[in-house]
Amino acid sequence: MASSNGEGAEIMVATDHGECQQLKDLANTENATPVMASSTTRKSVAECHGAVMHPLLLASVCFGDWKGLNFLLNRGEAQADPCLMPSEEFLARLAVYSSTNLLMHRVSGDDIEEGADSPSFFAESLLQGLTPEGDTALHMAAAHGNLRCASIIFSKDSTLLSKPNYKGDTPLHLAARAGKSEMVFHLIDLAIDFGRCMGIDDEKSVNDLLRKENDHRETALHEAIRIGDNHIVKLLMTNDPMLAIFPKDGTSPLYLSILLEKDTIANTLYNMSKGNILSYSGPAGQNALHAAVLRSKAMTRQLLEWNRNLTTQGDINGSTPLHFASSRAVVSNNWVYPHPSIRCFRVPFPRLKVLKEVIEANGTPLYQPDNCGMFPIHVAATVGERSVIDIFVNKFPSSAGLRDKRGRTFLHVAVENKKGNIVDYACRNRSLTWIWNMQDNDGNTALHLAVEAANLSMFCCLFGNRQVQLNLVNVKGQTPRDMAHNKIRPEIHYDTSTEDMICFALTQAGAMKGIQRHDHFEEKYKDIHQLKLDSGREELEIVKDATQTMGIGSVLIATVAFGATFALPGGYKSDDRPHGGAPTLAGRDHLAS
């Protein structure tokens, strides 16, 4: 029996299942004060902030064993009321740990003097334990939806309600992530009750709980959206109609719902927000419309009705939603599986309809460049979106002449990116004649760039138009013919090469060279190809060395292979023996029957 005189405590251990009843009887005695402790001193456990959660505590919470949890945290009540005693299964688990490192003992007098014998001391010690992810017991109860366990834990340590784990998640985050709507409601009630005890307004208590952000700057509302639980979304928004405003910047709940194609949740957020005021922000300076134009035609239209100002907002690169819509080069196909026995089919994304929605709502972003000076029409040319450019040119003809920071039109961009379909479209459209001969900051026309790229198909598209001028010079004083001549290598080459055919076509059409002395031109030509020749020789040496190595390896392999093939069984006789050099088995009938 423990006393205050400092006498030592008697250790009582349950070593097998048969002694569980004895432990239970001991727990029911009036004077017994059984407690659980690890081999570490209780004082050090209480002081250890990062202590590992005890397995029995974690198991009780995860199993929803509220009686076992109550026995661990409220041993006085468990002794007084037989109805609160834990189950035989819990006592069996208790016996297992008792036989290893969990001791049932009476407390010494020194511990009583220090307050170690109080129930609150042991409850605080146990509740300081954390999982490897930093989750508290209340985190685990919330994640598993065990309401009564959550109440017991909260009654012992109310600070755990707002305590984050190593990722910044509170118990409410985990409850929402697991889709436990009843637990979400219960945690809100606990926050209200605690606030009333502290004299805090209900609204403030709820707002403080619901607006807690984790390390990713996400609230519990984000978790509910991510799993697509509209019921929890409504529950959270009912308790805090301003919740969709948070975070102030970063990924907003509305952006996340559109990104994940949760259109119903997106409408819930808007309709339940106070005054329809909510955040449209996304990561990297984007807004919800940036995501919508790449996800949903319906949400694109909805967002344009809610807030047309989104069309002019650029991200960190200055790209507007129209830039994003213009960059969708490949039709996105969603695989649909109507039935396991039916072959899947594709549903194309209506990208052009989305683009038209944005333009019809506000066409001015077509004239808004990004940080690199590129307009949406340049982006469309970069990815080869012919249909998008056709829409731009038909609705806003002047947009065809827009230039980026390098003075390039969309035709220059198309040639540089080898988008032959865009070049073909521009050359066939007579309304675009006025941009065919535009020069960039280097003085190059689209024809200059096509010659430099040695792309015969793009060259023919431009060369076939009489309005395309052949003798314009760039800032280096070069005409397209000069550039074509410089592309021809001085060493052996074929007349049917792309470079030769382009140069021949320009010469036959009467294209002129630049205004400069011919000897100076030849010197530049030699300088250009001398650098190429030196580079080619280095590459040739590398190829030569590699070829020699491969040749030697091939010879060695062949030697071994053929040597094994033609070798006679038994080998040959040595030279110092009779008939030296003859096969060892010569003259013997080994195959005779």
- Helix ranges, 240-280 (H): 253-259, 263-272
Q: How far apart, in Å, are the Cα atoms of 151 and each of 54, 76, 86, 155?
A: 19, 17, 17, 6
User: Quick check: 211 pLDDT over 90?
Assistant: yes
Tokens encoding 469: 């001028």
CA dist., res. 105 & res. 112, Å (int): 13
Element (H, E) at 35: strand 35-37
User: Quick check: 38 pLDDT over 80?
Assistant: no
CATH of the domain at 479: 1.25.40.20
User: Quick check: 537 pLDDT over 60?
Assistant: no
- Look at residue 14 in the predicted model and tell me its pLDDT: 44
| HSE-CB for 31 with a 13 A CA cutoff | 3
CA dist., res. 390 & res. 377, Å (int): 10
Q: Which residue has the higher pLDDT, 554 or 533?
A: 554
Q: Is residue 418 part of a domain?
A: yes
* Percent helix, strand and coil across the chain, each to the nearest 5: 55, 5, 40
| HSE-CB for 539 with a 13 A CA cutoff | 6
Element (H, E) at 105: strand 103-105
Whether the CA torsion 347, 349, 350, 352 is positive or negative: it is negative
Element (H, E) at 230: helix 230-239
Region of 373 please: left (phi>0), alpha (psi -120 to 50) or beta: left
User: Quick check: 191 pLDDT over 60?
Assistant: yes
Integer distance in angstroms from the first to the last C-alpha of the chain? Answer: 100
**Tens digits of residue pLDDT in 262-318:** 999 999 999 999 999 999 999 999 999 999 999 999 999 999 999 999 999 999 999
Find all residues with CB under 8 Å of 239, minimum gap 6, and list them. 188, 206, 210
CA dist., res. 560 & res. 10, Å (int): 82
Q: Is residue 435 part of a domain?
A: yes
Q: Is residue 189 part of a domain?
A: no
**Cβ atoms 378, 388 nearer than 8 A:** no
Find all residues with CB under 8 Å of 253, minimum gap 6, and list them. 219, 221, 222, 225, 243, 244, 269, 278, 279
Q: How far apart, in Å, are the Cα atoms of 286 and each of 280, 305, 311, 318?
A: 9, 18, 11, 9
**Residue 399 Cα to chain centre, angstroms:** 35
Backbone φ, ψ for residue 212 (5° rounding): -65, 130
Tokens encoding 61: 């919470």
**Cβ atoms 256, 250 nearer than 8 A:** no
- Look at residue 39 in the predicted model and tell me its pLDDT: 35
Average pLDDT over residues 466-488: 93
- Look at residue 72 in the predicted model and tell me its pLDDT: 84
**Tens digits of residue pLDDT in 567-582:** 556 666 666 667 666 6
CA angle 151, 146, 179 (to 5 degrees): 120
- Find the helix packing angle between 181-197 and 137-144, rounded to 10°: 140
Q: Is residue 83 part of a domain?
A: no
The single residue listed with the structure tokens 């032959």 is 420
Find all residues with CB under 8 Å of 482, minimum gap 6, and list them. 513, 514, 521
Residue 435: domain span: 406-516
CA dist., res. 245 & res. 177, Å (int): 20
Coil, helix or strand at residue 439: coil
pTM over 0.85: no
**Tens digits of residue pLDDT in 393-439:** 999 999 999 999 999 999 999 999 999 999 999 999 999 999 999 99
For the ranges 406-415, 474-483, 496-505, the maximum mean pLDDT occurs at 406-415
User: Quick check: 325 pLDDT over 90?
Assistant: yes
Q: Is residue 500 part of a domain?
A: yes
Task: Place 33 in a pLDDT band, splitting at 50, 70 and 90.
Answer: very low
CA dist., res. 66 & res. 145, Å (int): 12
Percent over 90 (pLDDT), the chain: 60
CA dist., res. 451 & res. 502, Å (int): 7
- Look at residue 90 in the predicted model and tell me its pLDDT: 74
Q: 483-515 in b/e burial notation, b at 16+ Cβ within 10 A?
A: bbbbbbeeeeeeeeebbbbbbebbeeeebebee
Average pLDDT over residues 475-490: 88
State the CB neighbour count (10 A cutoff) for residue 552. 10
Q: Is residue 125 part of a domain?
A: no
Percent over 70 (pLDDT), the chain: 67
Q: Is residue 484 part of a domain?
A: yes
Q: Is residue 465 part of a domain?
A: yes
CA dist., res. 331 & res. 388, Å (int): 13
- Look at residue 103 in the predicted model and tell me its pLDDT: 40
For residue 281, the cross-strand partners are: 287
CA dist., res. 349 & res. 258, Å (int): 15
CA dist., res. 236 & res. 187, Å (int): 11
State the CB neighbour count (10 A cutoff) for residue 346. 11
For residue 130, the cross-strand partners are: 52
User: Quick check: 143 pLDDT over 70?
Assistant: yes
- Look at residue 84 in the predicted model and tell me its pLDDT: 65
**Cβ atoms 28, 85 nearer than 8 A:** yes
Region of 472 please: left (phi>0), alpha (psi -120 to 50) or beta: beta
**Tens digits of residue pLDDT in 114-133:** 444 445 556 678 899 999 99
Q: How far apart, in Å, are the Cα atoms of 171 and each of 153, 162, 230, 321, 541?
A: 12, 7, 19, 37, 67
CA dist., res. 512 & res. 481, Å (int): 7
Element (H, E) at 36: strand 35-37
**Tens digits of residue pLDDT in 16-30:** 444 445 545 544 544
- Look at residue 535 in the predicted model and tell me its pLDDT: 56
Provide the mean pLDDT of the chain. Answer: 81
Average pLDDT over residues 40-54: 54
- Look at residue 31 in the predicted model and tell me its pLDDT: 43
Write the DSSP string, 329-374: -S--EEEE-S-TTS--EEEE--HHHHHHHHHHH--GGGG---TTS-
Average pLDDT over residues 146-175: 96
Closest CA to 279 of 300, 255, 299: 255
**Tens digits of residue pLDDT in 346-394:** 556 788 999 999 999 999 999 999 999 999 999 999 999 999 999 999 9
Pairing of strands 11-12, 103-105: antiparallel
User: Cis omega (within 30 of 0) on the bond before 569?
Assistant: no
- Look at residue 492 in the predicted model and tell me its pLDDT: 58
Average pLDDT over residues 79-87: 62
Q: How many domains does the chain have?
A: 1
